Structures are given as C-alpha cells and as structure tokens.
Amino acid sequence: MRQGVFDLPLRAAQGRAAFFVSPANALALAALEDGPRWPSGRMLLTGPAGSGKTHLAHVWAASAGARVTAAAALDAEAPPALAAGPLALDDAQGVAGNPTLETALFHVLNLAQAAGVPVLMTARKPVRDWGLGLPDLASRIEASGLARIGPADDALLAAVMVKLFADRQLRVAPAVIDRLVPRMHRSLAFAGRLVAALDRAALERRRAIDTVLADAVLAELTATGLAETGE
C-alpha cells in the first residue's frame, strides 16, 4: 500500500512558518541561506510557475532585511534607491524586451555589487532563455549564483493543502489529501484554487468534503483549464 502523504517528514522554514521545506525546494533554500558566498553577491532563483519562488524570496528577505519589489517597478524607482540595501527582485525575467527596465536592472546590479549589497532575483527560466536585448545585463546575471526549485512534490503539496484547509477551519480526512495529491496539477497556486473550490462546493451542496466530492471538483477545475496557473 502506498505510504500516505501525511506520513512524509516536513519542517517549516525558520522565520516563515507557512513555508514548508521538501525535496523540491530544500537545495534552493540552502543556497539562499548561504548568502555571504553568492557569486558577485547575486543569486537567481528559478522554478516553474506555482513552485513557491515568490514565497521563498520573502522568506529570504525577512531574514536578510531585504526589500522586495517586482521587476515591473524598476522604471518607477531610481536604481540608487533600490541598491541601497539588500534587494529581492521578483519576476526578473519580466524586464526582457523593455530597454528601460533592462537598463534599470543593469544599473541596480552594478550599484549593488559596488556597495556589497546582495540581490536575489526570481524567474521561471535561466537567463539564457529570457531574450534580453542588453548583452551586458545578460552577462551580469549569468555570473550570479543559480538556485532551482523543482515542481512541487507530494510532500509539499500535502502540507500546503493541510494548512489551506486549516486556514478555512475545514476538517478533511487524510484520505482526501491522499486522493487529490497524486492527481492534481503540480502547483502551489493550483492547490489554493482547489481548496477554495472544495470549500465553495461543500457549502453549495451542503455536504462534507470527501473523496467523491474531491474527485468531482478536481475534474471540474481541470476541465475549465484552471490547472495552468501562475504563482
């Protein structure tokens, strides 16, 4: 008999109890915790949509006293201000194809390196796949450290879903989690959508969340294309 996903060991990341560590993200977390040895003081954190990159960036930012900002905000804020202290830049690949954003990021990285300030960037893909138009920016990022998060594994999905149900004060049998986890889209964002949909369905149909309802709601979400979701 397959081991229930509830039996797999997990621990909460220090300083952010809602972030669960599993084989999918443990190496990435260790790399971020090794900040003093990041190449040129920079780290690029990559992973598929819904894998928890943004959450992990916030975990690092809380421990490093870093500011968190989105790549799209770079054109609205002066690079010297952003490079004044530790920085977590979310969705860094979003600068690709925008000369203003690319130039701003280039200056941020140069200023931060000169000041000895660490910069963490998140992206779905390695920099070679971004399509940057500024070669010097591409070379700066390629010289950064690289940490990867894999697709969410069963242990991580199970732990997140348990918390999401608990947040809604829903009592769900372990069999429901064991039923859903191997069949669902491998995304933490989708886990949130699924729990919310199960909560609504249980209220509308005035029934408990069991494996039958779980199968039905999962099928509905998948059929409507909601499985492909971002973070």
Delimit the domains of the chain by residue range. 25-148, 153-223
| Whole-number pLDDT of residue 21 | 84
| Whole-number pLDDT of residue 76 | 67
| Whole-number pLDDT of residue 116 | 93
For residues 188 and 208, the model is more confident at: 208
Q: Which of 10-14, 71-75, 217-221 has the lowest mean pLDDT?
A: 10-14
Q: How far apart are CA 64 and CA 42, in angstroms?
A: 13
HEC profile of the chain? CCCCHHHCCCEECCCCCCCEECCCCHHHHHHHHCHHHCHHHEEEEECCCCCCHHHHHHHHHHHHCCEEEEHHHHHHCCHHHHCCCCEEEECHHHHCCCHHHHHHHHHHHHHHHHHCCCEEEEECCCHHHCCCCCHHHHHHHHCCEEEECCCCCHHHHHHHHHHHHHHCCCCCCHHHHHHHCCCCCCCHHHHHHHHHHHHHHHHHHCCCCCHHHHHHHHHHHHHCCCCCCCC
Fold of 153-223: Helicase, Ruva Protein; domain 3 (1.10.8)
Please give the average per-residue pLDDT across 199-218, as a whole number.
Answer: 94
Q: Please list, in sequence order, all residues whose beta carbon lies within 8 angstroms of the beta carbon of residue 216, skipping any fewer than 6 positions away.
A: 201
| Whole-number pLDDT of residue 16 | 58
* Single pTM value for the model: 0.77
Nearest to 52 by CA among 151, 144, 130, 159: 151
pLDDT tens, 145-188?
Answer: 999 998 888 988 998 899 889 889 998 999 999 999 999 988 88
Please give the average per-residue pLDDT across 202-225, as a whole number.
Answer: 91
Q: What is the CA angle 230-150-105, rounded to 5? A: 65
Q: Please list, in sequence order, all residues whose beta carbon lies within 8 angstroms of the beta carbon of residue 206, skipping any fewer than 6 positions away.
A: none
pLDDT tens, 122-141?
Answer: 999 999 999 999 999 999 99
pLDDT tens, 48-73?
Answer: 887 889 889 999 999 899 999 998 88
> Considering the domain 25-148 in this protein, what is its CATH number?
3.40.50.300
For residues 11 and 154, the model is more confident at: 154
